[in-house]
Amino acid sequence: MRLDGEYLPGWSFTNVTSQKKNFVKYWGPEISTHCNATAGGPRKEWQEDVFDGEYREGATVGVIPHSIYHPRPPEYNPMKQDPLHKALADATFRAYREAAIRLPHDVLRVIEKAAAAETNPVARGEFANILKNIEIAERLGVPMCQDTGVPVIYLTLPPDLPLTQSFYDSVAEGVRRATKEVPLRPNVVDPLTRHNSNDNTGRGMPAIHVRPGAKFTVTVLPKGAGAENMSRTAMLLPSQVDQIEKFVVETVYLAGPRPCPPLVIGLGIGSTFDGAAALAKEALLEPIDTMTEYEQQILAAVNRLGIGVMGLGGDTTALAVKVKTAGCHTACLPVAVNTQCWANRHVTIEVKR
């Protein structure tokens, strides 16, 4: 039996039994914890916070809440022993820092082009503010927005790298470091209690997506709440392909100024209910300075709304629409719109081995 996770304050290990009085040992990366256990005796409360090793001496442990195992606490540090995982943690940190401070070149080019073409004087002034904000953030090395988002991470693993829990731990360690050193606003909370972890990690967070690739890379996509809250999904009928554009326009209309336009719109079409949403978010990683005819058609329809920069009117409500598709059930047409503000932040870094 192995224990590998986090001991949360207030929990106890109960029903510790054995054939005779003996030692129970848990070996951590650098520590060991010892506890005398007697059959039928009172429950024992463990003093150490980290358990990572093999249960020894033949005793058994029962009634252990599953929640204590995930995620591993910050004290667990596999990077001290494994250069590969240290490299991944470092790459995650650097990617998050870069994404928070600087926009991708394609995004900056599209913003500058839209600013030059804007005819509304108020919108031109807002574009000037955005561009000044971008310049100051880069010059001072500080985040361009106070909402530094939640960490959405994409890992690509080459064939010789098997996926293990340690990769997730390393990414989380990089996020914790970025939160402390960049610094980032601590945004991650428990969905029900609203308790803030204060380091942008938690159950299921960072949101990590893994896919095969030729190189070992990490991509960080910080996702702010203003735009994320305006995202929508729909299960259209197969006969409603011509209604996809309407659904996108309706989504942007309902959002109004709240997602901080001009927007980058990720559109996922097909797959499953949840798969369409994943496609929509992945579409935000695509270069936005090129679009297909279909993407340009939807963009033109969105811009006819006239919501404009920061909702103050103008020619540019959205900067780009990017579409990703996947096969779906013959009786389904899943569609998802993932709205993103003008600060379409993301960075990919190759992890050096």
Q: Is residue 296 part of a domain?
A: yes
Q: Is residue 307 part of a domain?
A: yes
pLDDT at 128: 98
pTM over 0.85: no
pLDDT at 151: 98
Q: Is residue 151 part of a domain?
A: no
* Average pLDDT value for the chain: 84
Which of 46, 76, 106 terminates a domain? The answer is 76
Q: Is residue 170 part of a domain?
A: no
Helix (H, G, I), strand (E, B) or coil at 81: coil
Query: In the chain, what percentage of residues exceed pLDDT 70?
Result: 77
CA-to-CA distance for 108 and 134, rounded, in angstroms? 9
pLDDT at 353: 86
What mean pLDDT do residues 41-58 have?
A: 37
DSSP 256: T
| Model confidence pLDDT, tens digit, residues 147-200 | 999 999 999 999 999 999 999 999 999 999 999 999 999 999 999 999 999 999
The number of distinct structural domains making up the chain is 2
Q: Which residue has the higher pLDDT, 19 or 166?
A: 166
Question: Minimal CA–CA distance to 50: which of 25, 72, 83?
Answer: 72
Q: Which residue has the higher pLDDT, 29 or 312?
A: 312
| Model confidence pLDDT, tens digit, residues 266-283 | 999 999 999 999 999 999
Buried-exposed string 121-144: b where 16+ CB fall within 10 A, e elsewhere: eebbebbeebeeebeebeeeeebb
Q: In which domain, by residue range, is 254 found?
A: 225-348
pLDDT at 77: 59
Q: Is residue 95 part of a domain?
A: no
Neighbours of 283 (CB within 10 A): 26
What mean pLDDT do residues 248-261 have?
A: 98
Q: Is residue 6 part of a domain?
A: yes
Burial class (CB in 10 A: 0-12, 13-18, 19+), 218: buried
Ramachandran region, residue 81 (left: φ > 0; alpha: ψ -120 to 50; beta: rest): alpha
Which of 59, 76, 93 terminates a domain? The answer is 76
Q: Is residue 125 part of a domain?
A: no
pLDDT at 182: 98
Give the H or E element holding residue 277.
Answer: helix 273-283
Give the H or E element holding residue 140.
Answer: helix 121-140
Lowest mean pLDDT among 31-40, 147-156, 234-243: 31-40
pLDDT value at 293 more than 80: yes
pLDDT value at 211 more than 50: yes
Question: Minimal CA–CA distance to 345: which of 177, 176, 138?
Answer: 138
pLDDT value at 306 more than 70: yes
| Model confidence pLDDT, tens digit, residues 58-110 | 333 333 333 333 455 555 555 565 899 999 999 999 999 999 999 999 999 99
Q: Is residue 112 part of a domain?
A: no
pLDDT value at 326 more than 60: yes
Q: How confident is the model at residue 54 (pLDDT cuts 50, 70, 90)?
A: very low
* CA angle (62, 67, 72) in 5-degree steps: 110
CA-to-CA distance for 312 and 321, rounded, in angstroms? 21
Which of 44, 76, 108 terminates a domain? The answer is 76
